[in-house]
Amino acid sequence: GENVEQHPSTLSVQEGDSAVIKCTYSDSASNYFPWYKQELGKRPQLIIDIRSNVGEKKDQRIAVTLNKTAKHFSLHITETQPEDSAVYFCAASGANQGGKLIFGQGTELSVKP
């Protein structure tokens, strides 16, 4: 089955710097890759997603890139702010899988003022 590895497990940046979180997946049939943000004690919330027919997607300060050949995808956050501090999860899902998401282990991002 699908396996998703996420790195790093923790990431500390200064306010205004960029942050990059990387994930690799094992199943070449996976075609949907969302990123979730989870603040302490809260539910995961979708922040951006990408499908396998697209190489890059941007939404203001957030971007996701996908390399299907290498089977990895990354989250890029520019001009980080203290409110970006949270745990970020990547996930992967395959076609005809009923939306089953396999999650990475999470990255705890800390943005220092």
Interaction site with another protein (CB under 8 A): 1, 6, 32, 34, 42-46, 49, 89, 93, 97-106
- Are 46 and 59 spatial neighbours (Cβ–Cβ below 8 Å)? no
When the beta carbons of 38 and 78 are compared against another protein, the nearer one is 38
When the beta carbons of 81 and 105 are compared against another protein, the nearer one is 105
When the beta carbons of 10 and 81 are compared against another protein, the nearer one is 10
Closest contact distance (angstroms) between CB of 16 and another protein is 28
